[in-house]
A and B are shown apart, each in its own frame.
Chain A
Amino acid sequence: MRLTLHVWRQKSASDPGRMIQYEARNVNPDMSFLEMLDVVNEELTVKGEDPIAFDSDCREGICGMCGFVINGVAHGPRRGTTVCQLHMRKFKDGDVLYLEPWRARAFPVIKDLVVDRGAFDRVIAAGGYISVPAGSAPDGNAIQVPKQNADLAMDAAACIGCGACVAACPNASASLFTAAKITHLGVLPQGQPERADRAMRMVAQAAAEGFGSCTNIGECEAVCPKEIKLEVIARMNRDFIKAAWTNRGTSSATGGAG
């Protein structure tokens, strides 16, 4: 198989960047997309050209490190799949592919396809946790969780923080990401004491990072490699509005629920 790649090349944050064309020859259908790029990079190196920078680590779809846009779709054409788990058998000989980094104000480009997603960590630091210092926990079975709630929490907790939702959203909103964490912790009994505060603070932080607001377009759900459901955003909005009304949150929220 042979492919033509147009890849976004940008030396550093300050460089304007541009698309450059490469040929990928000898593409084996069993390769993952990133293995295909590894091979392209080895060939570039041998020719003395700077290899394409892209992020990856686990290469099994769980760490959330990889991610770029293929022909306008975050993580490429296969639903529920990160680029590291996308295999070349999904493409045809002669395909022309355009590879671009996530584009969002809150995710500045570092180099080529690599962006800075530090804003996500700061959203979690603002309240995406349950405060329980080591040593202070009761017996595990003292806290019983109905199976449905445990499953619902797990569905939301499956988020890998890759940023595809932001990249796909016309408003560059981080609502799916933020809401997934608010839902995960909010449906568990352990998460109740901080529930209102958590929603207020995380939503405020997301706005402060420059993520846009949610207008229910649903592109995020379509590209999410973990298939996190849009309904988490409704739960977040409910928690946020309730918290704002009862004014239980201690921090002042700037910006709307998403």
Chain B
Amino acid sequence: MELNSNLPTGPIESAWDRARFEMKLVNPANKRKYNIIVVGSGLAGASAAATLAELGYNIQCFCFQDSPRRAHSIAAQGGINAAKNYQNDGDSIFRLFYDTVKGGDFRSREANVYRLAQISVNIIDQCVAQGVPFAREYGGTLANRSFGGAQVSRTFYARGQTGQQLLLGAYQALERQVGAGQVKMLPRTEMLSLVLVEGKARGIVTRNLITGKIESYAADAVVLATGGYGNVYNLSTNARGSNCTAIWRAYKHGAAFANPCFTQIHPTCIPVSGEYQSKLTLMSESLRNDGRIWVPKTCGDKRPPVQIPEPERDYYLERRYPSFGNLVPRDVASRNAKAVCDEGRGVGETALGVYLDFSDAIQRLGASGIRERYGNLFDMYERITGEDPYKVPMRIYPAIHYTMGGLWVDYQLMSTIPGLFVAGEANFSDHGANRLGASALMQGLADGYFILPYTLGNYLASTKLDKVQTDYAEFRREEAEVAAMTKQLLAIKGKRTVASFHRELGKLLWDHCGMSRTAKGLQLAVTKIRELREEFWTNVDVLGRDNEMNQALEHAGRVADFLELAELIAIDALHRDESCGGHFREEYQTPDGEAQRDDEHYSYAAAWEFRGLDQPPELHKEPLQFEYVHPTQRSYK
């Protein structure tokens, strides 16, 4: 396998322009002769499918929910970044680029990130024109707020439902194309395999989640926009159905998987309340604009928060990071929360929590001011915990939230399999070892509205593609494999539920490959994951049949893939003998406990190639060069 990132050369400011100029174009009349499969209808998938359809390509778009509008992007709360500098506070494309490269702890590609920052401004324009009801000032102009890792106010938002509104904008554009007959939408259809013909991605095999029917779809190119794999940890802020199946099965067909251990832990989530817990709920990072984080100064102080006087509180982020305070990036905020809880200063029944306190902000802005900004988040908190955050401080704790790793792609967003493009959270492209808040929505829409429409055209125009049909042997073979796996899962008839395996796997990863990692813990994790996987394939109990709606079977297939991916995550974390961004190895830290990178040995993207489950994967390195933002130790002090 060869990694060719196809990065443009020359000045970074005009690199994307030059790359676009050099791309081959598909003649408008010929576009309708091409079929493209888009798997996923989140921000990345819906925007790509709609835009490619507007250009005239025939699109088949897939999602596992009952409607494309329910993709997990819908849950994003806080906002989307753009270098508009509407606030006149010193923002620029270069500053957004700089913040993102630095925030990613120098493990992303400069050219990609620069392009993302450039496109960010077009995204806002596009979304406004679509009718996304962004927050406004009284004068009618767009409003902004600040997010972690930035000192300018560049985040656009629609109350606490930014993802919902951006997704509905993309969904409506998509439905418009469905109405026009340019997109065929296939909801409740899960991709279970990728089909290669003569080495190129030419189709997928799916299971119809209502009838159970295994079917094939052929195309000239395939786009995967299937979201992140955070649910490998079982408890995460992702939706219940979020999974790695599409990208994992593409990996097993030859697509390299990059930086799987770069997972993001979000500092502000509602703490776990019991064994039955099915997911963790995020309290948007935007809350850190007005909330102050603290724990008691003394260990084991069990007084209710209001009874703890000011001098006995430790606002540890403000103390340790005076210039960024509560707005330090996520990895830093999460690690610090863990540290104070490890010291025994955690709050709440489980002592795994810290306070996020709004009393100062309520004094300043009044309860109505706070309701205006965060009303729906406060309501959600109250519903889940039964406590009123207008009266008592919220309790929060870090949780798995986002995965920076994903399928490796080149500058054109193409994986190592020709014709297989990957967009949104499913790829590894822009966030390095840590993503800044409000940048995932930006990336998903950049990929879908403004990058894939060019790069896919370039691929189609420059590649000879014979017609393929779903009765080809390649399709038949994949269908047979998918059907066999389904049958096998149903035939085991063991003693443990799928959910119990998922819980055990999640706990294993959280303990050994979560907020902080050690070589010893990771070695143990690899062994235990293998054992658990073996047990799964001999002792899982999946009821029902394959030719009907069977939710346990769907879950079983996803957990089977998580059990394989988890091992790769641990292997990747073990090989990276440094700390960077969300990957914190206890062995590598500065004297004051910050992440210590090793640029000399690890300034690369780690792309893993599958060689069979009984063989270790092969590591390929894509070296990273920094010409514009010089790597320094990140400091938010």
Contacts and interface: CB of A to CB of B under 8 A. Distances in A.
Interface of A: 11-12, 28-32, 34-36, 38-39, 42, 45-46, 48-51, 53, 55-65, 78, 80-81, 85-87, 89, 110-111, 114, 116-118, 120-121, 124-141, 143-147, 150-151, 153-154, 157-158, 160-161, 184-185, 188, 190-191
B380 A139 contact: no
B60 to A, nearest CB: 15
B65 A45 contact: no
B240 A59 contact: yes
B178 A121 contact: yes
A48 B541 CA distance: 9
Q: Which 6 A-B pairs have the closest CB atoms?
A: A144-B140, A137-B129, A129-B172, A125-B179, A137-B125, A153-B133
B130 A130 contact: yes
A29 B66 CA distance: 30
A255 to B, nearest CB: 18
Interface in B336-362: none
B84 interface: yes
Given A114-B549, A141-B86, A145-B136, A38 B278 contact: yes
B299 interface: no
A140 B125 contact: yes
B279 interface: yes
Contact of B74 (A45, A51, A63, A144): A63
A144 B140 CA distance: 5
Given A57-B65, A140-B125, A140-B127, 9 more contacts: A48-B543, A60-B281, A64-B69, A87-B383, A128-B175, A130-B130, A141-B86, A153-B133, A154-B158
B164 A62 contact: yes
B139 interface: yes
B129 A62 contact: no
B140 A145 contact: yes
B47 interface: yes
B239 A58 contact: yes
A1 to B, nearest CB: 13
Count chain B CB atoms within 10 A of each CB in A80, A126, A158 and give the residue with the most. Answer: A158
B548 interface: yes
A134 B449 contact: yes
Contacts of A11: 548
Contacts of B70: 57-58, 63-65, 161
B189 to A, nearest CB: 13
B51 A134 contact: yes
Contacts of B548: 11-12, 111
B544 interface: yes
Nearest to B66: A117
A28 B131 CA distance: 43
A129 B173 contact: yes
A157 B240 CA distance: 24
A99 to B, nearest CB: 16
18 contacts: A12-B548, A31-B276, A38-B278, A42-B500, A48-B543, A50-B544, A57-B70, A64-B67, A64-B70, A64-B74, A120-B67, A121-B69, A121-B187, A134-B453, A154-B133, A157-B165, A160-B164, A190-B128
Contacts of A153: 131, 133
B386 interface: yes
B499 A42 contact: yes
B274 A30 contact: yes
A11 to B, nearest CB: 7
Contacts, number: 221
Contact of B239 (A30, A59, A89, A160): A59
B126 interface: yes
Contact of B84 (A64, A86, A120, A140): A140
A185 B161 CA distance: 17
Nearest to A65: B70
A190 B274 contact: no
B634 to A, nearest CB: 31
Interface residues of B, number: 80
Nearest to B135: A150
Contact of A147 (B86, B138, B282, B551): B138
A131 B67 CA distance: 21
Contact of A190 (B131, B176, B278): B131
B129 A138 contact: yes
Nearest to A86: B383
Contacts of A63: 65, 70, 72, 74-75, 239
A116 B124 contact: no
Nearest to B495: A46
Contacts of B159: 154
B8 to A, nearest CB: 21
A53 B273 CA distance: 25
A130 B129 contact: yes
A42 B543 CA distance: 11
Interface string B413-457: 000000000000000000000000000000000000110010000
Contact of A28 (B187, B241, B276, B450): B276
B490 interface: no
A200 to B, nearest CB: 14
Contacts of B158: 154, 157
Interface in B45-74: 47, 50-51, 54, 65-70, 72, 74
Nearest to B241: A57
Contacts of B147: none
Contacts of B552: 45, 51
A20 to B, nearest CB: 16
B92 interface: no
Interface string B544-570: 100011011000000000000000000
B136 A150 contact: yes
Nearest to B445: A134
B178 to A, nearest CB: 5
Nearest to A48: B543
A60 B75 contact: yes
B595 interface: no
A170 B469 CA distance: 48
B136 A126 contact: no
A87 B277 contact: no
Contact of B133 (A85, A120, A140, A150): A150
B7 interface: no
A64 B68 CA distance: 11
